[in-house]
Amino acid sequence: MRSRLSVRFVQLAVSVALAALSGCGPMPGGSRPIPQGIPTRAEARTALIYEANLHQGPEPLRAFLSDFPKGADLHVHLSGAVYAETLIRDAGEDGLCVDKTTLTFAKPPCRGNLIPATELSGNIDRQHQLLYDKLIDSLSVRSFVPTAGWSEHDQFFAVFDRMSGLGNHAAEWVDEVASRATAENNQYLELMQTPPFSHALEIAHQIGWNAKLAQADPQAFVQFRQQLLDNGLRDEVAAGRNAALQAETGRRQLEHCGTAQATPACQVEIRYLWTVLRDFTPEQVFAQTLLAFETVQASMNAKDDTWVGINLVRPEDDFVSMRDYTLHMKMVGYLHSVYPGVHISLHAGELAPGLVPPEGLRFHIRQAIELGDAERIGHGVDVMNEDRPRDLLTELASRHIMVEINLSSNEGILGVDGDAHPFPVYRAVHVPVALSTDDEGVSRIDLTHEYVRAAIDYGLTYRDLKQLVRTGMEHDFLPGASLWAKPDDFSATVGACKGETPGGDSPSANCKDFMHGSQKASAQWELERRFREFEAKFQGPAFDRLLHTH
Ligand SMILES: [Zn+2]
């Protein structure tokens, strides 16, 4: 964890930012805290112990937060979540070579500079250990130092190219992230994955693009969608559905779920987001997005508990991402009108001044929600550079659009952290926010790391942390109504569970019925149960003594 900021300085920066904004009228929400009900005695004690750990620094705080219930991680790229050690092992299993010069994987035969990846396993000698170390550095941001012409942004995205050539290890990778999640008391993941789409690309290329489509003419979109379907676009839906189904079946086998040997990772619920690669030609992005909507819709119709939504990936500052951004948002918006049940989270505002021209910073988040119908925004880092930022923040808050906050990733890729990051501004104006990891394997972090970092850098209270966790569970894409009566208000449960203790052992029949019909509410109840379990640990004389010394 590299960033250390004075809390007072950050608070000052936020009040300055808010004062500047409120010069044009009151901000939404103001300083009123998000309602979370009256703290129980157990919560109040836990909060005191949290404060004691917070003031002792990152290591004691990490130990305290390691099993703090974290609810969900909603922004996870599966291939970026896997640690390099796993990728090297996989390369060995796939019979690939390691290029000693470029520190990438290569196809056999392994001759000259290429050695079999299997040589980097088992009892390896000193020379191989050095290569192993260098390869891990090459497949992550470990030990990374920027040099002229090679920034952490470049290193970060290069990792995904360097891992190309690996076979399908999805089940094993999902098991790795689920096992890590359960060890951190995280119960739910939405994993971003791109299933096969080469047929869609081919059809789109054959049909081609035209001037009306380039202008996002609605009739042209209708026609193009139909042409793609008529030419067999749906042929790839089954492969996409299977990709997620097989990953789930496979990881459940690895975890022995449903048997006496079931590992704790079985308890982690996982859903998938179909991620469109946006650095293709417009017709190919349209075809991929259509395939994404079709696949997610088919999966939702079958209630197979895998695909729940879509997202767009690849660097937002890339040439094509920047050139076609508005067009992409219009495509997503149009297709959402055809498949309104499919959820949408969009990477938007993963930009910073200097990375792109100022004009490029002015509209991505707004268009993602107004044209692309995004229910959640990934990153949203450049929000204060958008046109009329105050109005945009008001819109995000009033429409309850959540921003997925990825602090370590943003520091690494964009160089934005501390007071330069809009996280405290979002919180101050009640835009819903939750912490996520983005690419924990590439960044060499985990979700606990992000909580420790947020707590220290922004002086968060124990209640603030619970609010972040509850917000994530409020905005996940699990089907069903929320446990909470009002959006982003965690003080009162819905009518069916009114007056009950959330997470309690014996919900009423009414409440049970309600949760039976809502995966979202059941997961929220489970989160509350975990909070109660966590907070119950801090009772007894040993903690009384600790509290008296603080
Ligand atoms: Zn991301």
* Residue 74 tokens, joined: 């909603």
Distances (CA, A) of 206 to 214, 227, 254, 438, 442: 16, 11, 42, 35, 37
CA of 536 to the centre of ligand 1 (A): 35
List the pLDDT tens digit at each of the 550 positions of the chain.
444 444 444 455 555 455 545 444 445 445 567 788 888 899 999 999 999 999 999 999 999 999 999 999 999 999 999 999 999 999 999 999 999 999 999 999 999 999 999 999 888 999 999 999 999 999 999 999 999 999 999 999 999 999 889 999 999 999 999 999 999 999 999 999 999 999 999 999 999 999 999 999 999 999 999 999 999 999 999 999 999 999 999 999 999 999 999 999 999 999 999 999 999 999 999 999 999 999 999 999 999 999 999 999 999 999 999 999 999 999 999 999 999 999 999 999 999 999 999 999 999 999 999 999 999 999 999 999 999 999 999 999 999 999 999 999 999 999 999 999 999 999 999 999 999 999 999 999 999 999 999 999 999 999 999 999 999 999 999 999 999 999 999 999 999 999 999 999 999 999 999 999 999 999 999 999 999 999 999 988 777 776 665 5
| 170-to-138, 218, 257, 300 alpha-carbon distances in Å | 21, 37, 17, 21
**Helix locations, 355-491, DSSP H:** 364-370, 389-398, 407-409, 423-428, 440-443, 447-458, 462-474
Token pair recorded at residue 471 = 């917000």
SS3 of the chain: helix, strand, coil, percent, to 5: 55, 15, 35
Ligand 1 centroid to 203 CA: how many Å? Answer: 28
Query: What is the reported pLDDT for 235?
Result: 98
Between 41-56 and 58-65, two packed helices, what is the crossing angle to 10 degrees? 150
Q: Which two tokens stand for residue 528?
A: 């509350």
Residue 137 alpha carbon to ligand 1 centre in Å = 20
pLDDT of 546: 67
**Residue 375: burial class (beta carbons within 10 Å; 0-12, 13-18, 19+):** middle
Q: How many angstroms does the Cα of residue 437 sit away from the middle of ligand 1? A: 8
Residue whose token pair is 């019979």? 95
Predicted confidence at residue 529, as pLDDT, reads 98
Contact 178, 255 (CB under 8 A): yes
| Alpha carbons 80 and 156: distance in angstroms, whole number | 9
Whole-number Å distance, alpha carbon 509 to ligand 1 midpoint, is 41
Q: Given its phi and psi angles, is residue 185 left (phi above 0), alpha (psi -120 to 50 degrees) or beta?
A: left
Q: How far is the centre of ligand 1, averaged over its atoms, from the C-alpha of 75 (Å)?
A: 6
pLDDT of residue 31: 56
372 closest CA partner among 293, 468, 305, 486: 293
The span from the CA of 191 to the CA of 406, in Å, is 15
CA–CA dist 362, 177 (Å, integer): 35
Q: Measured between alpha carbons, how far is 334 from 222 in angstroms, rounded to an integer?
A: 9
Q: What is the CA(379)–ligand 1 centre distance, in A?
A: 8
- The residue count of the chain comes to 550
Residue 42 Cα, ligand 1 centroid: separation in angstroms? 36
291 near 240, Cβ under 8 Å?
yes
- DSSP structural state of residue 119: G
Q: Do residues 106 and 114 make contact, with C-beta atoms less than 8 angstroms apart?
A: yes
Given a contact cutoff of 8 angstroms between Cβ atoms, the answer to whether 82 and 173 are in contact is yes
Q: Ligand 1: distance of its center to the CA of 55 in Å?
A: 31
State the distance from the centre of ligand 1 to the C-alpha of 77, rounded, in angstroms. 6
H/E element, 56: helix 41-56
pLDDT of residue 122: 83
Separation of alpha carbons 93 and 306, rounded Å: 27
Ligand 1 centroid to residue 74 C-alpha, Å? 10
CA of residue 259 to ligand 1 center, whole Å: 35
Burial class (CB in 10 A: 0-12, 13-18, 19+), 322: middle
DSSP state at residue 104: E
- Tell how strand 97-99 and strand 104-106 pair up: antiparallel
Q: What is the pLDDT of residue 543?
A: 75
Distance of CA 244 from the midpoint of ligand 1 (Å): 19
Distance (Å) from CA 418 to ligand 1 centroid: 19
Q: Do 320 and 359 form a contact (C-beta atoms < 8 A)?
A: no
CA of 315 to the centre of ligand 1 (A): 9
Between the CA of 316 and the centroid of ligand 1 the distance, in Å, is 10
Alpha helices in 255-388 (DSSP H): 282-301, 319-323, 325-338, 364-370
Ligand 1 center–CA 463 separation, angstroms:
27
Q: Give residue 25's pLDDT.
A: 46
- Kindly calculate the radius of gyration of the chain based on its CA atoms and give it in whole angstroms: 24
Distance 143 CA to ligand 1 centre (A): 22
- By CB atoms closer than 10 A (0-12, 13-18, 19+), residue 93 is middle
Question: Phi and psi for 491 in degrees, rounded to 5?
Answer: -105, -25
* Cα 80 to averaged position of ligand 1 atoms, centre (Å): 9
Record the tokens describing residue 481, joined without a space.
Answer: 């109504």
d(CA 347, ligand 1 centre) in Å: 6
Whole-number pLDDT of residue 5: 45
Domain parsing of the chain, residue ranges? 33-63+480-548, 79-162
Write out the H or E segment, with its range, that includes residue 354: none
Task: State how far the Cα of 440 lies from the Cα of 445, in Å rounded to an integer.
Answer: 5
**Alpha-carbon gap, residue 99 to 102, rounded angstroms:** 6
